[in-house]
Amino acid sequence: MSEQPVYDTLILNGTVIDPAAGRNGRYDIAVQDGKIAAIAPDLSKARAKETISAAGLLVLPGMIDTHAHVYQHVTGKFGLNPDMVGVRSGVTTLIDQGGPSCMTIGGFRHYVSEPAASRVLCFISAYLVGGLEGHLYPDLYGPNGVNVEHTVRVAQQNPDLVKGIKAHAEIGGQSRWGIEVIKLGKQISSRLDLPLYIHLGQLWPTADSAPIPDPDELIRELVPIMQPGDILAHPFTRHPGGFVSESGEVHPILLEAVNNCGVRVDVGHGSHFSFAAARKVLEAGVVPFTLGADMHGYNVQVPNSNEDSDRTSNPFFGVAPFNLTIAMTELLHLGLSLEQVVAMVTANPATMLRMEDSLGTLQPGREADISVLKMETGRFRLSDNTGEEVVSEKLLRPIFCLRAGTRYDANSFFVPDAIAA
């Protein structure tokens, strides 16, 4: 009789939630050579070099943050350390939204993506300057700052990294250039057959010489440009130019785009999140497809940084500590189910990336990307970026993850301490 195989790692007695595989219950997982070797209700008799008890914990496919800013150093204060946002926060895959451009993708590959323990992909910026200093200088982001041919060529040369295009539709830019930049971004997107990810919510001041723009008109001009699979970010924004119109209602044209035209929605939490806006958007029937945290150097406190200086230099500095699991907790508080929220950070991002064959679900033979969380119960104070506070009876907290079978504890300084109410 042959001996029972010895696995590298066994995760036992966890509650596996894997929407893509239809699993929601107690399962054990075996890992060998960086890949998932087995998933079964009971592997307790198997042998392993390391056995991890996940009793009382949630075991998920490796979480995917669809809105990260981790082009560290090149984007100035804006870019965070990828592994502090990624594996050290329980997140196995990051999508940098618009940090690298056609001019800087080489640095992104060699100095960020390749050295990181986290898997780091990107939606390449439509703009030549990418995410330098967090878009503080709007004059760099006009039509003259876009080179369609160069961006298409570079994206074609880097298909393993580039999974989409990032652009901005907001009223400060509209006051300068109309929506010409979005049209150029859509040209790039269409030629590459990749999704266009569009920032909503005011980012830049209105041009001095321009009349006060109508945020609702921006939305009416934008939606006809979009195609199925394109993504609107920041549906719950506190800033003008988002899903909620000037009259306080959700734009009917956005409802049509999302519900009937295949346009997707990413939370893009960041310094945009408003409970009031979220309630209106969810009540209107818009459920986000993905849940990007949108952490960057102006909305989280980075050790050794000057927070007062950061607030002065960027008017959109956030007011509430957060990370991906705090954003998940907020959606649970707003009434979404745990399985819905888990899908937003696992199966749905894999679909957005067109990587369903490798990410977003736990299957034997795939890389062992696994996130383990704890659902704490009690009374926890959550606050949004308008200053509104709510009390949640649940709090999701990352414990550790496996990235290609290697364990990383969730010890990032970006994991906020629980605030008891």
Which residues are documented as binding site for Zn(2+)? 67, 69, 166, 199, 234, 294
Radius of gyration of the chain (CA): 21
Phi and psi at residue 380, to the nearest 5°: -125, 135
Say how far apart CA 177 and CA 367 lie, in whole Å.
Answer: 45
Task: Identify the three-state secondary structure at position 213.
Answer: coil
Question: Distance between CA 100 and CA 70 in Å, rounded?
Answer: 10
| Nearest-angstrom CA–CA distance, 371 and 151 | 34
Rounded to a whole number, what is the distance in angstroms from the first to the last CA of the chain? 59
**Token digits of residue 421:** 């109410």
The span from the CA of 279 to the CA of 23, in Å, is: 29
Q: Dig out the tokens for 384 from the structure.
A: 């949004």
403: left (phi over 0), alpha (psi -120 to 50) or beta: beta
Contact 67, 293 (CB under 8 A): yes
Adjacent-strand bridge partners of 237: 273
- Closest to 91 in 3D by CA, of 396, 312, 332, 339: 396
Return binding residues. Answer: 67, 69, 166, 199, 234, 294
148-157 vs 180-192: helix axis angle to the nearest 10? 30
